[in-house]
A and B are shown apart, each in its own frame.
Chain A
Amino acid sequence: MIAEAGHYALVLALGLALIQSTVPMLGARWHDAALMNVARSTALAQLLFALASFAALVTLHVTSDFSVVNVFENSHSLKPLIYKITGVWGNHEGSMLLWVSILALFGGLVAAFGNNLPLSLRAHVLAVQAWIASAFYLFILITSNPFLRIANPPIEGRDLNPVLQDIGLAVHPPMLYLGYVGFSISFSFAVAALIEGRIDAAWARWVRPWTLVAWIFLTLGIAMGSYWAYYELGWGGWWFWDPVENASLMPWLAGTALLHSAVVMEKRNALKVWTILLAILTFSLSLLGTFLVRSGVLTSVHAFATDPTRGVFILLILCTFIGGSLTLYAWRASALKQGGLFAPISREGALVLNNLFLTTACATVFIGTLYPLALEVLTGDKISVGAPFFNLTFAPLFVPLMIAVPFGPLLAWKRGDLLGAAQRLMAAGIAALIAFAVLWAWTRGGSALAPLAIGLAVFVIAGALCDLAERTGLFRAPVATAVRRARGLPRSTWGTAFAHAGVGVALIGIVCETTWNSEYIGSMKAGDVAKIAGYEVELDSLAQRQGPNFREMVAQFTVSLDGRRLSEMTPSKRNYPARGSSTTEAALLTRGVSQLYISLGDTADGTIAVRIYHKPLVLLIWFGPVLMAFGGMLSLSDRRLRVGAPKPARAPRGLQPAE
């Protein structure tokens, strides 16, 4: 009964979404408050049914009800409970159900907490949200139904892909989906604004928390996915410019641009048309990501199943929504009233520059990802666009962006003083130069690029600190005053500083890991010692062990530094009989923020192929995004309104303009 009730709940959710997508629009057209309020109650009911449906699928997986095809194909009665639950979204059907559940969740949240929205705007937003939801409910029910049954249920399931049997699956997809789908709210707001034909600073105020939430989750989701790939796939890489990774990076880049341009709009009532376009593009890229991953166009760990009908259906959804919203944009955007003016050198100008760089970077990723696909469709040639392309295009775009980042917060609104900002960044510049010089001297003869890049990263971090020091008057005013001012600073200012510093921190990690990474590859037998980056790694023993639904070969290593015993590492190779597949479980030893990484290869009469990496400062790569997300959360927690006080044209230089 659980399976069928869950199935029916999904059907009802579709019915409610269809009503929610039409009735409020009619209500807004005829100014009928009751009809517009239908949006609210249906959004909440739709959330209820979507959650019920999702809960039903989780229950079925937990109780191993193999009469459900989805459970039979992706579960195994011996799996630990946590993987039974995470296995729900470790497959195509279940992950789409999670997708719509999160979509319904966001719709429900807007309905529940959108009291401060004008009635017609809320009705329009929820209606647009329901269009998206209807399309995806239909997609699930028709092409990827997780509730299909088997009349004669088998006694055992086929097990989940072993690579996915990891705690990462509990965190990465839900976070990523919260990010992807969260941008649907900014999209709905943008389309609603286009339908209503007006948009202003208040709009940006209303969208801000939703964009920020989506951005935070997307940031964490991407970072988590990268760390997961790093330790699970067993070759020590953390970013492969894989099309699926790019699919998540593109909405992130566009979303970051959206976040910044929405700030300008809220504070200064400017960049309206641009913000609307970014909101549409961000969600379109999220949809594109869903299409790339779910259609089976690409083969990767994310492609659970390839079924052409699904691909065509998602492509249809994609074209309808992207094409429709862009057409609406082309038709109505010119009607939107222009907002505040600003000089090229100003906070607004800096943010426009930032947006240009981010969108261009996004465009290069877009081309690098889709060009091979387009070429294959048109000419049948298979080419692969890999790291070299992205390093050559992406990096040069990010260098000027990083140089510009610290300037932004130091420029005044409306008209800024570049020279003044540069002076105030002097300290950061000096710190960057020192970092560069020290590193260059230390790694003499090596590439000059790496110390330069680290100098740049230090500049970004120090620039963020400079901004804080400037605002609090540290070093200029007595310490007590500075502390009082620091307390009085809006949390959003702290958020900006943390997020910008996070970018610098991640850059340091990336540069160090790629430049000074050392590796040892060879076959070892018990008693052999490998030397790497000053560490001595000895293979003690090889042993077989039985897990709940796998057998594993465990190698025990002892790590010592200068003859002093540090720790033991036990990488393993697991074999899952239900799927006849195996995974490598790398062992990680964290020393500060650097890591030692061991993964196992094939065995041959007593010897085993071993890969050992030493990765200096590698953890900074993920610590940076965590810092960014923390900055985002600080900003989110700041419920105050943002006012951008413009700098008067000819006023004596007074206090620093602030948020």
Chain B
Amino acid sequence: MTLWFVFALMTAAAVFAVLLPLGRGPRPQSDGSEAAVYKDQLAEIDRDVAASLIGPSEAEAARVEIGRRLLAAADHQRDPPMASNIFLRRSVAIVALVGLPIAAIALYLPLGSPRLGDFPLAERTRVPDATQPLDNLVAQVEAHLEKNPTDGRGWNVLAPVLARLGRYDDAVRAYHNSITYNGDSAARRADLGEALTGAAGGVVTAEAKAEFERAVALNADEVKARYFLGLAAEQDGDTTQAASMWRAMLATAPPDAPWRPLVQAALARIEGPGAPALPDATVAAAKDMNETDRNAMIHGMVDRLASRLKQNGDDVEGWLRLVRAYMVMGDRDKAKSALTDARQAVANDAERLRQLNEGLKNLGLDG
């Protein structure tokens, strides 16, 4: 509403500028004329003569010339006197009062976007916007680190996200920086090794192996590093070595360790009758690592989405994402309740309801 108020004020100012001179009565003519210029020129000759810049004879010649111009200018002064044309003035006033606002609005409406507010960057970054795609957030953090490359905490945050996005090379750089600015630690070395493995398409390279070995040297209980060292042995063809390493892990592991099933599966794979070490399987295994962190992150994201949708339920895509997320997490009850919530939220909007139902059909849920 303020915008239209500002527009109205501006239009009023413009109209006022046109009407102002029209309202004034006839004034004594105070404007310049040619004669005034020539009179000044005559005065100028006197000054030049006084300063002896020109001689008396030249001054005389100049005076004669300017005198002629003065006479000619005086002739022109006998122009018809100023009239005031009431009809014309009224028409101009009407054009200004009616035509100007109409023309301005008619031109502005098809071009402008009056419903769009301002988006200064400072405000947008201060209020983290849940609708922003992850890429934008990552770009922001990267831009921040470009300026402050020694911010170790920033690298710590950025590195796992890059790894998850599949940007392994950048993740490797980020982990390197994280180690440089945060100090060495077994977990960081193991993460770096994992990123290197990811960059090599799931193959534990010599470089990655060196990182895992360093991690185990720092902390003999570093689970991730130990798992990957086993994987390295498997990829080298030394399945017995791999099996013994993994068995040792399981032997010392607490019974409720979240990574237990993964290692058990890996063990079953290599001990299984004639099961070849499929590269695809190893890739999948690598991707499945780090369950705890990953689950925490996914839960966080899903909860954020859910609370946002609770506030603003118009976002059909958001609802579908939420339902899909619950299903992937195996939480069917929550998926069901989210579905009911979604139906309620968009019940008043036929178009959205249709979109929702189609999306649900695609998810394999009841339409």
Contacts and interface: CB of A to CB of B under 8 A. Distances in A.
B48 A38 contact: no
B257 interface: no
A340 B65 contact: yes
B114 to A, nearest CB: 6
Contacts of B18: 16, 19, 23, 38, 41-42, 45
Interface string A533-577: 000000000000010100000000000000000000000000000
B13 A19 contact: no
B365 interface: no
A31 B80 contact: yes
B58 A155 contact: no
Contacts of B24: 34, 37
Contact of B11 (A12, A23, A654, A658): A12
Given A19-B100, A145-B111, A643-B48, A35 B118 contact: no
Contacts of B72: 200
A38 B116 contact: no
A557 B273 CA distance: 69
B38 A202 contact: yes
B73 interface: yes
State which size class the interface on A falls in.
Answer: 35 or more
A581 B73 CA distance: 63
Contacts of A316: none
A354 interface: no
A478 interface: no
A657 to B, nearest CB: 6
B92 A64 contact: no
A488 interface: yes
Interface in B87-137: 88-89, 92, 95-96, 100, 103-104, 107-108, 111-114, 116-122, 124, 132, 136
A171 interface: no
A32 B58 contact: no
Contacts of A31: 79-83
Contact of A38 (B7, B61, B83, B92): B92
Interface in A37-68: 37-38, 40-42, 44-45, 48-49, 60, 63-67
Nearest to B102: A15
Interface in B5-59: 6-7, 10-11, 13-14, 17-18, 20-22, 24, 26-27, 29-34, 36-38, 40-41, 44-45, 47-48, 51-59
Nearest to B114: A4
B81 A641 contact: no
A141 B111 contact: yes
A114 B24 CA distance: 19
B154 to A, nearest CB: 15
Contact of A119 (B31, B37, B85, B132): B31
A45 B103 CA distance: 17
B62 A644 contact: yes
> Max chain B CB contacts within 10 Å: which of A153, A268, A643, A648?
A643
A198 B79 CA distance: 13
B20 to A, nearest CB: 5
B3 A35 contact: no
B58 A648 contact: yes
A152 to B, nearest CB: 9
Given A4-B3, A19-B95, A151-B116, A12 B10 contact: yes
Contacts of B31: 115-119, 122
Interface string A110-150: 00000111110010000000000000000001000101110
A657 B66 CA distance: 16
B337 interface: no
Given A8-B108, A11-B108, A648-B57, A65 B119 contact: yes
A8 B112 contact: yes
B146 interface: yes
A645 B54 contact: yes
A654 B58 contact: yes
Nearest to A644: B62
Given A38-B18, A641-B41, A643-B48, A26 B112 contact: no
A156 B37 CA distance: 58
A8 B12 CA distance: 13
B149 interface: yes
Nearest to B32: A116
Nearest to A653: B55
B139 interface: yes
B317 to A, nearest CB: 13
A33 interface: yes
Given A488-B51, A657-B58, A155 B116 contact: no
A380 B196 CA distance: 56
A641 B69 contact: no
A651 interface: yes
A195 interface: no
Contacts of A153: 119, 124
A439 interface: no
Contacts of A319: none
A298 interface: no
A155 B119 CA distance: 10
Interface in A514-531: none
B53 A659 contact: yes
Nearest to B84: A32
Contacts of A647: 58, 61
Given A67-B119, A77-B143, A155 B48 contact: no
A11 B26 CA distance: 32
Contacts of B78: none
A244 interface: no
B118 A2 contact: yes
B140 A155 contact: yes
B2 interface: yes
A642 B82 CA distance: 31
A31 B20 CA distance: 18
A8 B32 contact: no
Contacts of A268: 65
Given A116-B32, A655-B52, A4 B80 contact: no
A115 B79 CA distance: 19
B53 A488 contact: yes
B92 A35 contact: yes
A66 B36 CA distance: 55
B61 A641 contact: no
Interface in A269-313: 269
Given A67-B116, A641-B40, A641-B44, A141 B96 contact: no
8 contacts: A19-B96, A27-B88, A31-B82, A118-B32, A155-B121, A200-B34, A485-B51, A488-B51
Given A78-B146, A643-B48, 5 more contacts: A35-B89, A148-B113, A206-B37, A643-B41, A643-B44
Interface of A: 1-5, 7-9, 11-12, 14-16, 18-19, 23, 26-27, 30-35, 37-38, 40-42, 44-45, 48-49, 60, 63-67, 77-78, 115-119, 122, 141, 145, 147-149, 151, 153-156, 198, 200-202, 205-206, 268-269, 340, 471, 485, 488-490, 546, 548, 640-648, 651, 654-655, 657-659
Give 3 nearest A-B pairs by CB, closest first: A45-B17, A116-B32, A63-B120
